[in-house]
Amino acid sequence: MIEPARRQRFLGQALFVILFLAILFWRLLPLAPGRIGWPGPDLALCLVLVWVLRRPEQVPVLTIALLFLIEDILLLRPIGLFAAVAVMGTEAARNREQHWRELPFMVEWLRVTMLLALMMVANRFLLAIFFLPLPPLGQVLLQFIATTGAYPLVAGLAGWLFGLPRNRAERDARLR
């Protein structure tokens, strides 16, 4: 038999991977072919940050790297570039997870916003250094605003639907 803590971690990781792949599948669907609209939020990045800040033991770094590498390949981005930026950003969040958990959600949202901004600047900087085509700055800024605005929704849905509470007392009570 698998002990309950290990089973809970495995099920949480499987749910995370399924949700990430569902978001990726949604992004690949041709919902409005030929129409160029407003860039939407990066829900996969929001999901990863929420999961890393709520349940860091369920999202190993290799899983994050592999999922973002798959996303880079399928979305025709430079292979591994955003995966590396995402891994660095999520690991920075994971290292500060204990400190962020006890703070109000608005402070967490502000810190995640700053982390997202740094990740997007780092990605743009690396694209420029390697002389790769840069997406228009306006679209990058609109996606940043949309991603920042989507973070509270993703965090709320993750807490409500998937049982990812913010503070330790709620998490420990659920594990008992």
Q: How far is CA 44 from CA 1, 3, 28, 169, 176, in A?
A: 33, 30, 13, 27, 30
pLDDT tens-digit series, residues 130-172: 999 999 999 999 999 999 999 999 999 998 888 877 665 555 5
pLDDT at residue 168 in the model:
54
Whole-angstrom Cα distance, residue 8 to residue 39? Answer: 35
Helical ranges in 29-136 per DSSP H: 43-54, 61-74, 81-95, 97-101, 105-129
Assigned token pair, 174:
């659920």
Q: What is the pLDDT of residues 28-43, one digit of tens each?
A: 988 777 676 788 899 9
Mean pLDDT of 90-108: 87
Confidence category of residue 88, pLDDT binned at 50, 70, 90: very high
* Intra-chain end-to-end CA distance of the chain, in Å: 18
* Structure confidence at residue 90 (pLDDT): 96
Q: How far apart (Å, rounded) are the C-alpha atoms in residues 105 and 4?
A: 29
Q: What is the structure's pLDDT at 131? A: 94
Give residue limits of the domains in the chain: 4-26+41-175
CA angle 53/46/17 to nearest 5° reads: 80
- pLDDT tens digits, one per residue of 36-70: 678 889 999 999 999 999 999 999 999 999 999 99
Residue 118 or residue 34, greater confidence: 118
DSSP string covering 4-25: HHHHHHHHHHHHHHHHHHHHHH
CA-CA distance, 41 to 137, in Å (whole number)? 15
- pTM for the predicted model, two decimal places: 0.88
Predicted pLDDT at 103: 84
